[in-house]
Chain A
Amino acid sequence: MPVLLIAIPLLAAALAWFIKAPAIRVRLLPAVALIHLALLIIALRSWRDLPHGAWLGLDALGGWVLLVISVLFTICALYAPSYLALRPDRDHRIFTACLLAFLGLASLLAQARHPGVTWVAMETTTLATAPLIYFNRNRRSIEATWKYLVLGSVGIALALLGTLFVAYAAHMGGIEEPLHYTRLMAAGEQLSRPWLRAGFVLTLVGYGTKMGLAPLHTWKPDAYGETPGIVGALLAGGVTSCAFLALLRIYGVVAAAGEAPFARELLIGFGILSMAWALVFMVGQVDFKRLLAYSSVEHMGILVLGIGIGGLAARFALFHLAANALVKSVLFLSAGNIHRSYASKQLPFVTGAIRRTPVSAGLFLVGFLAITGLPPFMPFISEFNIAAAALTTGHVLVGVLFLVLLAGIFITMSDTVLQVVFGVPSPQRVRTPYKDTFATTAPLILALCLALGLGTHLPAPLRAMLDGAVLTVDGHPLPVHERSLDLTKPQSLVEVR
């Protein structure tokens, strides 16, 4: 099963390369996405029984992240045929193949049980997504691609060095290959501290570049701004989730070695810095796709901040991963629709979208409200609980800063979003034949409904997986059976300890 999850999308990518008829090729995307999701759900039923020495396999953490990516990919794949039909001038052979390859490589990354394999998967994910950014084939998109490639490669090189440092820490502690995560965590006490710390800093910077944490995010606004909304959604919810998972794996080893306090301070620092940086660059942002990119920087900050605070906040950071992916897909895809309709993504030209594309503009508005914390959408649940955890565990200053930054971001973002949606139509506006159709809006509505539904009720199997994932993040080698949580007890998600 683990191999199938990787092989099917990769084979489909090869197939997409050879299929001549565009109409058949685009249908491959939703088909493969649904097969992948179905297989994953079957595979996830046995996440507790991961063999100890396996090279590939789904544990709770990897399973959770891959589930998020697979759902996100399905939403994007359902949207893709109608989007690509709007761009008949573009050959989408490379585009389709790269999208499918990304899904296969993300499956490899989520199932990798060895830091080396994780790293190889992260590297190939970067390369597979670079051609996606170049979809529009113009000067601006080549600039974005180059920046993405160069910065991403440097980040990935630093992550490799960090991985080697961690391996050397194990080597000094007398642990030899194969350095599976489970073995590294079980032998946490023996790892050499200086190398482990240096290794964590390097992987944080390296994978942090891929996540887009400030100040390593400079590729992000360019890449998200110049790609189709569908790629933006996959980058903001998929590639960044992969990088976050790779970072969490190393963090788990560090935590198992008892160095969590050191790592947490760094994570909190990066988290607050990313949110503050995003806020500064959102002020007066006229380009709504770049605005979403800075929002992504902010939410990456929230993720690492949650892990940095730890405990309940770490659980909700993982929950936020799903929240971010779902709501970002709504935002990027609806922004893409508005972009199609106006042939522009900048403010003076795009105003009053609610009159021209009522469904997309409405979704954009609700997506904005959801991502900034409107109850009871998923982001509200996670942001509320992270703030509560920070305030109740002694991180009072961090908690207050977090809330102030959230409020600031809501105000600055709303300025641009409200003008796009409700503003007075500009005399310079361009009209294209694009109109909202069922196919370009239904996947978005589905994503929004999921974000709403899971915000109000998280099914028990998912909750159990989330709890298992938190244990892995905190450095417990395997989800222990006797630790299994009481699932019969009704639990409210908004819980403050």
Chain B
Amino acid sequence: MSPDFLIALTMLTNFTLVATSRVNKAIQLAVVQGVLLGLIPIAMGLGKHFHILLVALAAIVVKGWFIPFLFRRALKQAHIQREVDPYVGYTVSLMLCAAGTGLSLVLAHNLPLKPGTTPSFLVPAALATLFTGFLLLVSRRKALTQVVGYLVLENGVYLFGLLLVEDMPILVETGILLDLFVGVFVMGIVINHIRVAFDSTDTRHLAELKD
């Protein structure tokens, strides 16, 4: 499989993510995206470096198995299925996502790549995924969907990291995974406390503090 094909699939998951209303499906899509990202370095032919293979495998295990496991547990406890009445509607979200993707292509066009690098969609895809994650974070009400947004945001960063994966030490790459792992873990705990305190994980309840 060519890496560009996988990157294109990643960008397609972005669109599906902003259009879906079921929390469960959003989680599944984020997992699919995470696994796709794990496969890209292997498709790029970087599998011959042992440490990159290790990072890719770790990414697949964390994003494809551990995080969905955490999510499913939170979902079971929280009894939510649908993202009802988001701040930004699904049609508008889709259009914003499309606009963001277009903007990413323009932006990436203006950033020079190192001579000799095969031109790829990595940079625009990274920016577009980042934008999608941001969109999900600000436009959804359920705490769980917001965490999905954070996950997608991190996927965008990871995608950009692939540009450097050959030259970056394991430290930074594992840093990304560690961040994701602990971040989602802590957020999961907080979501549980939100559920206990409000009997719901709707962040609309979290609007008591303001000026």
Q: A-side interface residues toward B, CB under 8 Å?
A: 114, 116-117, 119-120, 123-124, 127, 130, 134, 138-140, 142-147, 149-150, 153-154, 156-157, 160-161, 163-165, 167-168, 171-172, 176-178, 192, 194-195, 198, 221-222, 225-226, 281, 285, 290
Contacts and interface: CB of A to CB of B under 8 A. Distances in A.
Interface of B: 110-114, 126, 130, 134, 137, 143, 146, 150, 153-154, 156-157, 160-161, 163-164, 167-169, 171-172, 175-176, 178-179, 182-183, 186-187, 190, 193-194, 197-198, 203, 205-209, 211
Given A123-B179, A171-B164, A146 B190 contact: yes
Contacts of B137: 150, 154
B197 A167 contact: no
Contacts, number: 124
B187 A149 contact: yes
Residue among B113, B179, B198 facing the most chain A CB atoms (10 A cut-off): B179
Contact of A120 (B113, B175, B197, B206): B175
Nearest to B114: A172
A168 B143 contact: no
Majority SS of interface residues in chain B?
helix
A119 B175 contact: yes
Contact of A139 (B157, B161, B172, B208): B208
A100 to B, nearest CB: 18
A172 B193 contact: no
Contact of B111 (A120, A195, A281): A195
A321 B97 CA distance: 40
Contacts of B197: 138-139, 142
Contact of A116 (B153, B157, B171): B171
9 contacts: A117-B171, A119-B172, A120-B178, A134-B193, A146-B203, A156-B179, A160-B179, A164-B163, A177-B168
B157 A161 contact: yes
Given A127-B186, A150-B150, A143 B110 contact: no
Given A142-B197, A192-B112, A124 B211 contact: no
Contacts of B112: 172, 192, 194-195
Given A124-B182, A140-B209, A161 B160 contact: yes
Contact of B209 (A157, A163, A222): A222
A117 B171 CA distance: 8
A147 B130 CA distance: 19
Contact of A153 (B130, B183, B194): B183
B150 A153 contact: yes
A140 B209 CA distance: 7
A142 B190 contact: yes
**Across the A-B interface, the 9 shortest Cβ-Cβ residue pairs:** A116-B172, A143-B206, A222-B209, A120-B175, A172-B114, A161-B157, A139-B197, A123-B179, A157-B153
Contacts of A160: 157, 175-176, 179
Given A116-B172, A161-B130, A171 B157 contact: no
A121 to B, nearest CB: 10
Contacts of A140: 208-209
A142 B196 CA distance: 10
A172 B115 CA distance: 8
A495 B211 CA distance: 40
B183 A146 contact: no
A62 B58 CA distance: 33
A168 B176 CA distance: 16
B167 A171 contact: yes
Residue among A140, A145, A164, A225 facing the most chain B CB atoms (10 A cut-off): A164
A281 B203 CA distance: 24
Given A127-B183, A153-B150, A164-B163, 12 more contacts: A119-B172, A123-B182, A127-B182, A130-B186, A143-B208, A145-B193, A146-B190, A154-B150, A168-B163, A194-B110, A226-B209, A281-B211
B209 A221 contact: yes
B149 to A, nearest CB: 9
A144 B209 contact: yes
A172 B161 CA distance: 14
Contacts of B182: 123-124, 127
Nearest to B112: A194
A416 B160 CA distance: 48
B193 A142 contact: yes
Nearest to A162: B157
A157 B190 contact: no
B95 to A, nearest CB: 22
